[in-house]
Amino acid sequence: MCDTRSHDTKFATGCKLYLANERKMTDIGIGIIGGGYMGKAHAVAMSAVGAVFNTGLRPRLEMICAQSEASAERYRQAYGFDRSTTEWRRLVEDPKVEAIIIASPQSTHRAMAEMAFAQRKPVFCEKPLGATLEDSRAMVAAAEQAGVANMTGFNYIRAPASRFARDLIEEGAIGDVTFFRGEHTEDFLADPDSPATWRTSGASNGTMGDLAPHMINAALALIGPMASLIAEIETVHKHRPGGAVTNDDHAQIMCRFMSGSMGQMYFSRIATGRKMGYAYEISGTKGAIRFDQEDQNALWLYQMQGPERTRGFTKILTGPEHPDYAPFCQGPGHGTGYQDQIIIEARDFLLAIETGEAVWPTFKDGLEVNRVIAAATASNQNKSWQNVSDF
C-alpha cells in the first residue's frame, strides 16, 4: 500500500503512484524562474523524472527566466528549454507554461507566487517560502484561494535514509521519542577573510533564512509540531573585506515539541570542516537513530534487543527495500545523491498536479517553518521562551 502518512498531507512514495500501463501519459509545460544553482537542479530533475518514475505527467521544458538576456539564453541552450526570457511576468502569463518553479531569491517569491496563483497555475517554490512571515501567510492564502497544487522545496528530507527514519519512528521501532538533536552546519563562510557578498546582507540570506529552514523542516517531519523554544542568533564576523555583515552566522534553538519530546538544533555557515552537516540524532524509549547527510546513504539504528553485550548501533545501507530508492538503482549500497532528491521532489509535484491531492510539503508546511523562525527571532530579541502558536 502507498504511504499516505504525514501530519496533514500525503508524503508520496514510488510504490504505485505511476503505473504507465494504467494511465495515459500527458505532457505539461514547465517554466522555471531562476537558472542558477537551484534552477539547474530543477531543470535536470524535470528532464529526468519521467524516465526515473514513469510519471503520468511528462514535463516539457517550456521557458526559463534569468536576469540578463545572455544568461537566459545560455540556460535555455544548456538545459533544453524551448524559450527564454528576462521577464518573469511573461513566463507566468504564457499559456504554454502550465506549472511554475520559483528558484529565485526569497524576496521575489511572494509576487511571483501570487501572480501564478491568479492564473490558477501550480507552483513549486524553493525554501524558505517567503522572505518574511507576512509574505508566507499571503502566499498560503493565495494558494488556498486558487485551489491548485503547491509545494515548498525541502529536498534533504527526501533522501531514502531519512524517509526510512520516518518510517521507523512511525512504526515504533525506537519507542516513544524523547529527544531530537539536529544541525545544519557548513563552512562556506568560516574564513573571516572571505569577502562580503549577497549572502552576508539581508536577514533572509543569513543562516536562519538559508540553512535553518532545512533542519527545522526535518524536525517537524520526523517529530511533529513544535510548541515552544528559546534561541540565540549571532553574527560572529561582523566585518568582512568589502563591507559590514548584516545577517547571522550561526544560531541555536532549544525547544519542546507538542508531543512532549525535548529538542535542540544548531545552524551555522562558519562550522569549520563541515561541508554538508545536515545531521540528526533521535532518542527513544526503545532505541535511537542517527543520520548525517555527508554519508546520506546510511542510517544508524540502535534497538534495545538481545543481551547487552551484543547491542550497538547498526549501520543500514539504503537499497531497493527503502523508500524511493529502487527507481534510481537496483543495487543495495550503490547509493543515491543530491540531484536524486530533486527528482523525487519533481515526482511529488507532478503527482499533486495530476491527482489534485496535496503532497507534503505544501505552502502551508513551508509556513510552519517560517513560524518557527519568527519565534526564534523574537526569542533572541527578547531573551525569553516563545510559544510558536503566537506567530
> Within a 10 A sphere around the Cβ of 146, how many other Cβ atoms?
19
Chain centroid to Cα 125, Å, comes to 10
The whole-number pLDDT of residue 78 equals 97
Examine the pLDDT at 177 and tell me if it is beyond 50.
Answer: yes
Give the tens place of pLDDT for each residue, 288-301: 999 999 999 999 99
In the chain, what is the straight-line distance between the N-terminal and C-terminal CA atoms, in Å? 37
- The DSSP element (H or E) to which 352 belongs, if any, is helix 338-355
Give the tens place of pLDDT for each residue, 13-29: 443 444 444 456 799 99
Q: Is 23 exposed, middle or buried (0-12, 13-18, 19+ CB in 10 A)?
A: middle
Q: Dihedral sign for Cα 349, 355, 356, 358, please.
A: negative
Coil, helix or strand at residue 33: strand
Distance CA 207, CA 270 (A): 10
The whole-number pLDDT of residue 334 equals 97
- The DSSP element (H or E) to which 84 belongs, if any, is strand 83-85
Examine the pLDDT at 340 and tell me if it is beyond 70.
Answer: yes
pLDDT band at residue 11 using 50, 70 and 90 as cut-offs: low
Domain range list for the chain: 26-156, 160-336+369-382
Between 350 and 204, the higher pLDDT residue: 350
Give the tens place of pLDDT for each residue, 220-265: 999 999 999 999 999 999 999 999 999 999 999 999 999 999 999 9
Examine the pLDDT at 3 and tell me if it is beyond 80.
Answer: no
Examine the pLDDT at 58 and tell me if it is beyond 60.
Answer: yes
> To the nearest 10°, the Cα dihedral for 343, 347, 353, 359?
-100
How confident is the prediction for the chain on average, in pLDDT?
Answer: 94
Examine the pLDDT at 6 and tell me if it is beyond 70.
Answer: no
Distance CA 47, CA 38 (A): 14
CATH class of domain segment(s) 160-336+369-382: alpha beta
Q: Are 334 and 80 in contact (CB under 8 A)?
A: no
The whole-number pLDDT of residue 12 equals 56
Between 10 and 347, the higher pLDDT residue: 347
Examine the pLDDT at 9 and tell me if it is beyond 70.
Answer: no
CATH class of domain segment(s) 26-156: alpha beta
pTM: 0.93
